[in-house]
Amino acid sequence: MDDDWDENCDVVQPQHQPTIQNNFSNYDVDEGHSLSRGRGFPTFIEENGSNYDDFNKGSNSFEERRGRGGYGYDRGGRGRGGRGTRGGGRDRGYENGGDNFDDGERGERHERGERGRGRGRGRGGRGFRPTGDGGGETNEEAGDDKKTPVTYVPPEPTENEDEIFSSTISSGINFDKFDCIAVKVTGENPPRAIESFETANLRNYVLNNILKSGYKKPTPIQKHAIPIIMNGRDLMGCAQTGSGKTAAFLLPIINTLLQDLRELVVGPNGCAQPQVVIVAPTRELTIQIFNEARKFSYGSILKIAVAYGGTAVRHQGDNISRGCHILVATPGRLHDFVDRNRVSFDSVRFVVLDEADRMLDMGFMPSVEKMMDHPTMVNITERQTLMFSATFPEDIQHLAGRFLNNYLFVAVGVVGGASTDVEQIFHQVIKYEKQNTLKKLIEENDGKRILVFVETKRNADFIAAMLSEQQMLTSSIHGDRMQREREEALHNFKSGRHFILVATAVAARGLDIKNVDIVVNYDLPKSIDEYVHRIGRTGRVGNRGKAVSFFDSDQNFNNASTTVDQGQEPDEEW
C-alpha cells in the first residue's frame, strides 16, 4: 500500500546538486543511480597509503612531541600472524596537539595487555566476522578476552539530567521539509501514522522525556514507526540519515515496556534475560543508542545495559547480571555473554537491528543468525523484530525477511538516498596533491568541525599525524585503536576540543555528532551506500551540511581493477 499521507507535498528534491570541481571528464556516472541522491559513482578499489614511508620517516617527530602519555597509540597491531608481536612494533602515539603521545616505550603503556593480545590476530584469527569490521571487535570479544582480560572500564554514564538530555542535535531550518518527503508503506493493514507526539498515546514519562529532548513534532519515520511498533507489528524502516530512526524504535519500545510492565528475570548464576536486545555494528554506535535509551526512559524504573568489545568483560557483566530491560550490544560481545550463560533470550520481546543492512551482510550475518536461531530465543511470532537503516539493498531486504513476521516496510523517500540537506562537492585531486588539498580546505574552513574519512587505518594514522604536525587539532578513530583511545577521540571531537576527526568507516554509520560542518572523503568509499552513510554525518535533522569528496580519475576510475597492495594489509577496512 502506498501511503501518501501528505498530499500537499511533492517528493522533496535535493537542496543541493552535487558540484564537481576541476576536470570531471573522466567521471563515469553509473546510469542506474542519480548523483543527486548521492548515489552513482562507480565501484572502485583505491590504492592507498602511498606515503606511508614518509610517515615512517617522520614518526619520531610525533613521538618527540609527546606529553602526558595518556593515550598511547600502538602501530604494530594489525598484523596477520608474524607482525602481531608487540616487540617489533613501532609505537607512534598521538592524540594530537602534543597532549597525548605515547612515549614509544611499549612496556610502559597502560592497557598493554589489551593491545598486546590484540595483535597478530587479523584475518582468519577466529573467523568470527570475516570482514573484520570494527577492527578489534572481531577478535577480542571472545578469544582474546578469554586469554587476557581487557582492563578498560569506560566512564560511568552520567546521572546528570541536563547532560542526559543534551545529546540532541537541534533541528535545522529544513526540518519541516521532512514532511514533504513521500512515504511508502508496504504490508498488510498498517496502522495510521500519528501526527504529533501528544496524540500518539504515549505515556507521560515518555512524553515528558520527548519534550525535554526538545522534540516538537515527529519526523516521518517516527510518525509511521511509532504506531506500527505500538501495535505489535514487525518493521523494516528506511529513512535518510539524521532523520530520527533511533527514537522511532526506542520511543514505542520504551512505551510498551512501561505500559505492559513485566518482571525482570535474572536466571541462575546471574544470567540476565533482557526484554529488548538492540544490536548495532560498532561500539560507538552502541554506546550512543544506550545513551539515547537512557534518555527516553529517564526517571522510569527501566534498566538499560550496554555490552561492547574493547572493555573489561567483568564490569559489563556485573551490570548486566543485575538485570536489564534493554540490552544494547555489539554482536561479538553479546555472544560472548550468551556463551558464558550471562545473557539469554528467554524473555525477549523486541529484537532490533540498527544499521540492519550492515548487520545482515556477510560479515555480521553469522552472528545475527546465531542470535535469532539461539535455543533460548523466543519464537518469531512471540517477539517483535525491528530493522532500521538509511540504506537497504534489495538482496539484503530479502535475507531480512527470514527474521521478520508479517512485517511492514516503511520507506521515507528513496531507499538508500543521501540526505537532501548535504551539499555534495567533488574535487578532482591527483594522489600526490591530496594532502595539500586537505590542508588548504581545513585552513579555508578555520573553526569548522571537519570529519575526514579515509579507507585504511594506516592512512587514518598518517593523515591525523600529518595534520597534528601542522598544529591542526586532530583526533583519529579506527579499529586498531584501543577502545579508550576511540572514545577519547570521539569525545574530543564532540566537545570541540579537536576540530578535526580522521576516521575509517568505523565512524561512517549512525554517529550523531553536533555541528559537523564538513565531511571530507579523502579516499572515496568502496560503495555508494557507504558514501551515503559517511556524508550523512553532516546535514542532520534539517541542518545543512557539506560533503567534499576527493577523487583521482586515474586512481579511482581508470584503474578500477587496481587492488590494494598485497604487501600491505588488505583487511584494513576499518
Ligand X SMILES: Nc1ncnc2c1ncn2[C@@H]1O[C@H](COP(=O)(O)OP(=O)(O)OP(=O)(O)O)[C@@H](O)[C@H]1O
Contacts with ligand X, residue ranges (CB under 6 A) = 168-169, 171, 215, 218-219, 222, 239, 241-247, 390, 510, 512, 536, 540-541
CA distance 485 to 312: 15
Q: How far is the CB of 438 from ligand X (least distance, A)?
A: 24
SS (H, E, C) 461-523: HHHHHHHHHCCCCEEEECCCCCHHHHHHHHHHHHHCCCCEEEECHHHCCCCCCCCCCEEEECC
Query: Which CB atom, from 222 or from 420, has the smaller least distance to ligand X?
Result: 222
Query: Which CB atom, from 213 or from 459, has the smaller least distance to ligand X?
Result: 213
Q: How far is the CB of 216 from ligand X (least distance, A)?
A: 6
CA distance 482 to 137: 11
Q: How far is the CB of 111 from ligand X (least distance, A)?
A: 29
Query: Which CB atom, from 241 or from 468, has the smaller least distance to ligand X?
Result: 241
| DSSP calls for 226-254 | HHHHHTT--EEEE--TTS-HHHHHHHHHH
Query: Which CB atom, from 35 or from 248, has the smaller least distance to ligand X?
Result: 248
Q: How far is the CB of 414 from ligand X (least distance, A)?
A: 14
Query: Which CB atom, from 73 or from 531, has the smaller least distance to ligand X?
Result: 531
CA distance 256 to 396: 28
Residue burial 349-379, b: 16+ Cβ < 10 Å; e: rest: bbbbbbbbbbbbbebbbebbebbbebebbee
Query: Which CB atom, from 93 or from 237, has the smaller least distance to ligand X?
Result: 237
CA distance 574 to 279: 19
Query: Can you tell me whether residue 208 is helix, strand or coil?
Result: helix
C-alpha cell read off for 560: 578500477
Kindly list the distances between the CA atom of residue 485 and the CA atoms of 84, 95, 310, 369, in Å, as whole numbers in the listed order.
Answer: 19, 8, 10, 31
Query: Which CB atom, from 137 or from 512, has the smaller least distance to ligand X?
Result: 512
Pairing assessment for the beta strands 304-307 and 276-279 based on DSSP bridges: unpaired
Query: Which CB atom, from 233 or from 540, has the smaller least distance to ligand X?
Result: 540
Q: How far is the CB of 168 from ligand X (least distance, A)?
A: 4
Find out whether 86 and 496 touch, Cβ atoms under 8 Å: no
Rg of the Cα trace of the chain? 23
Q: How far is the CB of 540 from ligand X (least distance, A)?
A: 5
Cα 554 to chain centroid, rounded: 30
Q: How far is the CB of 271 from ligand X (least distance, A)?
A: 31
CA distance 13 to 17: 9
CA distance 303 to 51: 49
Find out whether 265 and 273 touch, Cβ atoms under 8 Å: yes
Q: How far is the CB of 241 from ligand X (least distance, A)?
A: 4
Query: Which CB atom, from 512 or from 530, has the smaller least distance to ligand X?
Result: 512
Q: How far is the CB of 219 from ligand X (least distance, A)?
A: 5
Kindly list the distances between the CA atom of residue 474 and the CA atoms of 93, 192, 271, 311, in Å, as whole numbers in the listed order.
Answer: 13, 47, 42, 24
CA distance 446 to 206: 40
CA distance 215 to 202: 14
Query: Which CB atom, from 15 or from 148, has the smaller least distance to ligand X?
Result: 15
Query: Which CB atom, from 146 or from 184, has the smaller least distance to ligand X?
Result: 184
Q: How far is the CB of 410 from ligand X (least distance, A)?
A: 12
Kindly list the distances between the CA atom of residue 254 and the CA atoms of 299, 308, 326, 512, in Å, as whole numbers in the listed order.
Answer: 12, 22, 9, 21
Query: Which CB atom, from 64 or from 198, has the smaller least distance to ligand X?
Result: 198
Q: How far is the CB of 538 from ligand X (least distance, A)?
A: 10
Q: How far is the CB of 283 from ligand X (least distance, A)?
A: 15
Q: How far is the CB of 211 from ligand X (least distance, A)?
A: 11
Query: Which CB atom, from 504 or from 555, has the smaller least distance to ligand X?
Result: 504
CA distance 527 to 549: 13
Q: How far is the CB of 148 from ligand X (least distance, A)?
A: 34
Environment class of residue 342 by beta-carbon count within 10 Å: exposed (0-12), middle (13-18) or buried (19+)? buried
Query: Which CB atom, from 271 or from 289, has the smaller least distance to ligand X?
Result: 289
Q: Which residues are within 8 A (CB) of 107 and not within 5 positions of it... i.e. 6 or more apart?
A: none
Pairing assessment for the beta strands 422-428 and 545-551 based on DSSP bridges: parallel
Pairing assessment for the beta strands 235-238 and 422-428 based on DSSP bridges: unpaired
Residue nearest ligand X by beta-carbon distance:
244
| DSSP calls for 40-106 | -PPP------TTHHHHHHHHHHHHHT--S--S--B-GGG-SGGGG-TTTPPB----STTTS---S-G
Q: How far is the CB of 512 from ligand X (least distance, A)?
A: 4
Query: Which CB atom, from 76 or from 218, has the smaller least distance to ligand X?
Result: 218
